[in-house]
A and B are shown apart, each in its own frame.
Chain A
């Protein structure tokens, strides 16, 4: 074990338990997961547990398989390309790659926020109502309530409540990203996956999203992929470091950033490569 003498980002000190010190339960479990795109292995063998109602950060250099890892949970990675998957991804103990799994239901339970804000070219209201409508919500009053609740949760309500029916594309990048978060929250997911949600945003917008993540972990299991080590240190409870499709190290964020066990983790978080 090497002492952390280098200028690693300083993580917040956090209790190691779940909300209110409750014992941690595993929400997602990757079990020997190997994921291969045509001619290109993305994940070689990853075994990793993600705890419920916590924020888990996935860090690692470009091309290490971070995005594929989270996209394997809502099974978005396989859209449009034939992929080979061995091993298991378990959500609440249920194998997500078992035949007969209902992808519509899975993706309702596991929401995703993408790298670039991608609101639909519709009104703010219609963007948030999109998911509930897909899943059969029709009543005006019910939809109104969902839209308001989701926008409030995404800390966007105060800024847009007087123009819900104007285009989402008129919002700033940061607002658009919070709208995308509201859109995900509107279908009442259990897990929120975030694929570098701040990489296209300015520092102030980034700070607002990070505050939001802080609140989300009270109700949701959040998995965030990030390139930004400071961000991982700021927002996450646990951190996993991936390299070349393999899991190098996982642990409490505080421990990973102050006292990494693996030499490669230390090199990466101190900026010696990647």
Chain B
């Protein structure tokens, strides 16, 4: 409508403005809602197609057997086993290191130049593409440290080749920034007044951290760490060159012979290579002897990997709620 004599009174003008406002409001809400539903739809579509494609493949024998017939049949147990081992090893390396670094950064270095430099490095580390970590892993862990140990040790190649240890170390470097940032956030969330109260009672800095800050930050630290694990567990690029195998007929185990008996205890051998879920998906899709024939296995493996990550995330949520409740009541 064109403004003319009909809209000359103030009442009419204000009615027209109100109408325009309502239209704008509807448009804004509509587009926000559309964006949300688009994301939801994409997620459902993706998960749905994986679930449908993999549902019939994932059986008990699929989870417990080894691949057969040039990996066109059989299960993915070695890949599940390898993923669990490497994730555990990764967290053993990354968690203490990351939490300690975050504590130092927040509680000790404070707002100093050093702290700013560390914080900037951590943030930059988080932005490095994962393939770069993979190459760094080969260059630094396998070739520099591994070969270095071999040279010092003498007696042939043992450490200086791709292995679970180096793959886990590479993944640990990848998830470090995630752990550091989430831990730092959890530490910063502890009220300043609690720190002050502890200091005023004569606590040393470490006592403040140990008895006041950490108990309260525990829930946040745990959550961040588990989320970082689920990120690390799904990565392919960092382990590509550092230790995972296309196919291994055996599990990466070493048998420890108990002296004077016939008993032998199977232990995970971190110097062995391993199979891994995300890498298994990658090779099944790109290097398989028959990529169409193994489509079902690809779907199944993807479903297992997503299921595993989902379980970890769920664990994080449960831990967080429980720790939070405890922090409030006790």
Which A residues contact B (CB, under 8 angstroms)? Answer: 74, 76, 79-80, 103-108, 111-112, 114, 116, 118-123, 130-131, 133-135, 166-167, 169, 180, 183-184, 187
Contacts and interface: CB of A to CB of B under 8 A. Distances in A.
B273 to A, nearest CB: 47
A130 B212 CA distance: 10
B202 A107 contact: yes
**Contact-size category for B:** 20 to 34
B203 A134 contact: yes
Nearest to A116: B193
Of A105, A107, A120, A133, most buried by chain B (CB within 10 Å of CB) is: A120
A103 B196 CA distance: 14
Contacts of B200: 74, 76, 107, 111-112, 114, 184
Contacts of B191: 118
Interface of B: 110, 191, 193-204, 207, 211-212, 215-216, 327-330
Contacts of A103: 202
B202 A118 contact: no
A205 to B, nearest CB: 18
A122 B202 contact: no
B193 A130 contact: no
A269 B110 CA distance: 41
B194 to A, nearest CB: 6
Nearest to B193: A118
Contact of A107 (B194, B201, B328): B201
A166 B201 CA distance: 22
A134 B202 contact: yes
A104 B193 contact: no
Contacts of B202: 103-108, 131, 134-135, 187
A222 to B, nearest CB: 15
Of A79, A105, A121, A134, most buried by chain B (CB within 10 Å of CB) is: A121
A180 B197 contact: yes
25 contacts: A74-B200, A79-B195, A80-B110, A105-B202, A106-B202, A107-B199, A107-B201, A107-B202, A112-B200, A114-B197, A118-B196, A120-B212, A121-B216, A121-B328, A122-B330, A130-B201, A130-B211, A133-B211, A134-B198, A135-B202, A167-B328, A183-B197, A184-B200, A184-B201, A187-B201
B211 A123 contact: no
Across the A-B interface, give the 6 residue pairs with the lowest CB-CB distance, nearest first. Answer: A107-B202, A118-B193, A112-B200, A108-B202, A131-B201, A104-B202
